[in-house]
Structure 1
């Protein structure tokens, strides 16, 4: 696993994009602070620029470094979640502007997956995570189902957990700074 983290890290630090196993499914990722790399993911997926992508962080400390405010309720939701849970927050900071939605929000998930957690910890920045499919196509259940255009369009394909079967997508909850909560996907 460490050798794959080293190779992925080298690619991410040079502004590249990777195909990697996340805590939910195979994803396309890059350094969430690198706008050019984020643009490349939008282009590769043929995804409209106004359709948001998720960022992954490895712990609550990193989460707080990329938001003006983390609503207290978010900590409780994440602490007790029994499956991967993505929270949409207001007022993100220090990430590429093209990741921030028109309403000045950003979806972030604190990962519990060992591979992702270690990769993010060593990158010392959030990692973009978007499903490894062309926009509008179904999320592939297995690595072998990923469209060849995606595999060939990234700078590095992680050779770890390729037999992993796609789990359900994460829950998505929007928690506004004023305490308003909206379940987007359960």
Structure 2
């Protein structure tokens, strides 16, 4: 499936201007914004009706970027990222250089190195992390594919990505684990 350059460019401009995008990821369709922009993150909380005490995850395209957004990255993190076959979100303590309202109350952040053609290109060009939260109103089930996304979300975001709209998703979220600085692993969602 070809990625339309104009689709990437419009998503990129929306992110740069502090807007919200609706986009496909390596798991489910997500609502995204610049993860370093507090005002943009706030728009997602409002759109979803999400409790502000709940953090969201961010996507990066390469594990070389991890040190820019978390202070304590155990060596095992790189092995987990390299060898996992399914999408994996790792929660790191002591996050940095991200919007404060995206972090958990303890200062941690969930980060996933994304393996998805559209996301990888968008992230490479944007050069910052992008928020990824399920494209649903808080409390509703996550959409399996684009057709399952509530119209109110499609109408409220600033740009809807064309890539992947016709594909059927599996509606499966990533595995989430917490990795403390010593390397101890705790599964939060399997």
Normalising by the residue count of structure 1, what TM-score does the alignment of the two structures yield? 0.97
Quote the residue 2:35 is aligned against: 32
What SS does the aligned partner of 1:122 have? Answer: helix
SS at 2:70's partner residue? Answer: coil
Q: 2:65 aligns with which of 46, 49, 62?
A: 62
- Tell me if the contact between 1:92 and 1:104 (Cα under 8 Å) persists in the aligned partners: yes
Q: Distance in 2 between matches of 1:173 and 1:73?
A: 12
Correspondence 1:66-81 to 2 at 5 A: 66-81=69-84
2:101 paired residue number: 98
- The equivalent of 1:141 in structure 2 is 144
The corresponding residue for 1:131 is 134
Work out the number of aligned pairs and report it. 186
Is 2:174 the counterpart of 1:170?
Answer: yes
2:87 to 84, 89, 113: 84
Match of 1:118 in 2: 121
Structure 1's consecutive aligned runs of 4 or more residues displaced over 3 angstroms after TM superposition are none
Once residues 165 and 27 of structure 1 are traced to their aligned partners in structure 2, the CA distance between those partners, rounded to angstroms, is 14
Aligned to 2:167, the other structure's residue is in SS state coil
Unaligned runs of 5+ in 2: none
Counterpart CA distance in 2 for 1:146 and 1:118 is 23
C-alpha separation between the residues in 2 aligned to 1:119 and 1:62?
15
- SS where residue 177 of structure 2 aligns? strand
- Offset at residue 58 of structure 1 (A): 0.4
Task: Give the whole-Å Cα distance in 2 for the aligned partners of 1:63 and 1:5.
Answer: 23
Q: CA deviation at 1:85?
A: 0.3
RMSD: 0.8
Structure-1 residue corresponding to 2:20? 17
> What's the offset of the Cα at 1:178?
2.1
* Matching residue within 171, 181, 186 for 2:185: 181
User: 1:70 Cα deviation (Å)?
Assistant: 1.3
